[in-house]
A and B are shown apart, each in its own frame.
Chain A
């Protein structure tokens, strides 16, 4: 399996520009998570989906951030307009959840991340 795929790996943009990050989860996984990692705040959950439906978006910092999951194999995280404080590494993770079971089947597998720099 190719694992979680994220693109681009690096993105440098100017303040005010729109940024779109992309994620392809592991085939067969039904949960998808977007995280942001900074030195100051560590790894923070932004939003997660279960069966393509957003379950919790309370971590999305503000209305400039939006996420979609149009199908089971693709998700986007969009920032519009971007600001310098959005500079971070953005990770996507996926897992296969079996409700009611206590097992490693819900292990979250992380992608390599997108390093975003907003100038």
Chain B
């Protein structure tokens, strides 16, 4: 079993839809959870960052962490064509320069 599992998609939705992206993980010691967005032929960029369990909201984006289920989610409200990208979940045991373990990424396409 891989440490981090993520459905690669692709996921296609119409503009304005609510999008749910998910990852599961096996290592209960993970403490920091992140979502990166990667546009085609670009490097990943940090979108959301959460420590331990709970929710975090930033504009149209909400990140949820359920450590008891080893499950994290990213919700995108009112999706826009500019949200079309690959979304990668990432997690680490501790911050301060430690390694991130990435999911393979889910490719999202939002049509206008």
Contacts and interface: CB of A to CB of B under 8 A. Distances in A.
B102 A42 contact: yes
Interface stretch (A11-19, A64-72, A76-84, A97-105): A97-105
A91 B45 CA distance: 12
Interface in B42-92: 42-46, 49, 51, 88
Counting chain A CB atoms within 10 Å of each CB, the highest count among B41, B43, B102 belongs to: B43
Secondary structure at the B interface, as helix, strand, loop or mixed, is loop
Contacts of A93: 43
Contacts of A109: 45-46
A110 B96 contact: no
A109 B104 CA distance: 18
Interface residues of B, number: 19
Contacts, number: 60
B97 A106 contact: yes
Given A42-B102, A95-B97, A102 B51 contact: yes
A30 B88 CA distance: 24
A25 interface: no
B99 A113 contact: no
A85 to B, nearest CB: 18
Given A43-B44, A110-B44, A104 B100 contact: no
Given A43-B104, A48-B97, A106-B95, 4 more contacts: A33-B100, A91-B43, A106-B97, A113-B41
